[in-house]
Structure 1
């Protein structure tokens, strides 16, 4: 009798066929992918109309300041697209993404140029567009990895599809890090120039954009020779920038 019960238990515990297990995992995998897609589409659509209140970078910088014995500081003040100075919009395009209004999120020429320059050695240069930087700043965590780059590509495609170019540029200019604890053009303009980003001159706008690669190291009011040269170049090309 005990032997019969043992055989019955072994029959009940028999492993499922591989095809059944595979199909089960495939179904769960598909559900996860579809759920992620739906969630991110809703998220991106919501931020087309609602201004993002905070970003991962802002939170990280806040903790870094606390670790250095400083107070938590996030200074930002949102300006709508039409309120932002046209000088600032042109400076951003001239300094960061000259073909912003022409591409769909990725500037092939800039990527190829960056690749060729990086092959020669020296300091690495990126080919990120304003759209890519906006996707990175708003939706992703700071850092460098292939996984993060994949998500950046995905969110770049989404915002290009679901947002207007005006909205992308507006969000970029309002969330980008512009100094120690400063985020967005308005906070930077008030801090450095004592005026609103509504009324920046060409030179002031160019200097704000020129320091963006490392705004905690460089200052637009105390520009190095390098920053001055970069700002001069930005001013020179601002006239070619056709803002959206």
Structure 2
């Protein structure tokens, strides 16, 4: 029992130490932008393995060098309650848990019909912009309860140590907008041959709706879905209050 207690104490100390490490890195982001994120490094490795070279576009700019239309469009598309929550939007999270519960029931039914196939249930949904940033900065892409729990802790830490404007700035400078295309400035140059500061409402909306599946939509620039969704986002943009 004593050995078990010592191991338990070591695990607790390691967990606390890890959270302190994350907190120090996040605090430093008030003054120093992250050079890369965990997600970017993972993507860079995959591209390098597949292509033998690394086509990469990224240029960090201050948030005042991004059009207000882009900021509003991204918030309207990804997290309409961004200025209202403290990192986690509990109503959205509750809906995601309900969806996951239904998915688990369906997976168990499939397992009964096909017992030789493993049951796999992915944890999905409910992520705010802050949670997305937390995941991209520090975590892997796996969908598990442990990873989701760590994401929530990091989101709360981000909201405690950084302003909403700084969170949005780092997010917009690091989010993926296509294969090897990261950040608003690179996306604006890649798709519209102009700076992020000069994006109009329509262009901003088209970029915003790509965010859930940027590499997929990069190959479908004339997608009817993109056009319809962009119109919806444009209609919502006027209701968005910037941080």
The answer on 1:94 being equivalent to 2:93 is no
Task: State whether residues 74 and 182 of structure 1, in contact with CA within 8 Å, keep that contact through their aligned partners in structure 2.
Answer: yes
Correspondence for 1:162: 161
Counterpart of 2:118 in structure 1 is none
Contact 1:114 1:126 in 2 (8 A): yes
TM-score by length of 2: 0.84
Q: Secondary structure at the match of 2:82?
A: coil
What is the alpha-carbon distance in structure 1 between the residues aligned to residue 194 and residue 220 of structure 2? 13
- Map of 2:116 onto structure 1: none
- Does the alignment pair 1:191 with 2:173? no
Q: How high is the TM-score relative to the length of structure 1?
A: 0.84
Query: Which residue number in structure 2 is paired with residue 112 of structure 1?
Result: 94
Provide the C-alpha distance between the structure 1 equivalents of 2:24 and 2:242, rounded to a whole number of angstroms. 28
Paired with 2:8 and 2:51, the residues of 1 have a C-alpha distance of: 49
The alignment partner of 2:177 has SS state of: strand
Shift of 1:22: 4.5
Shift of 1:66: 2.4
Contact 1:192–1:220 under 8 Å retained in 2: no
> How much has 1:209 moved relative to structure 2?
0.7
Q: Does 1:54 align with 2:54?
A: no
| Matching of residues 122-201 of structure 1 within 5 Å | 126-201=125-200
Q: Distance in 2 between matches of 1:35 and 1:66?
A: 33
CA contact (8 A) 1:62 1:72 kept: yes
Number of residue pairs aligned between Structure 1 and Structure 2: 224
Q: Quote the offset at 1:23 in angstroms.
A: 4.7
- Supply the distance in 2 between the matched residues of 1:32 and 1:114 (Cα, whole angstroms): 30
For 2:214, what is the secondary structure of its paired residue?
A: coil
Equivalent pair of 2:124/2:143 in contact (CA under 8 Å):
no
- Contact 2:131–2:152 (CA<8 Å) still a contact in 1? yes
Larger relative contact order (Cα-Cα within 8 Å, sequence gap ≥ 6): 2
Q: Which sections of structure 2, spanning at least 5 residues, go unmatched?
A: 107-122
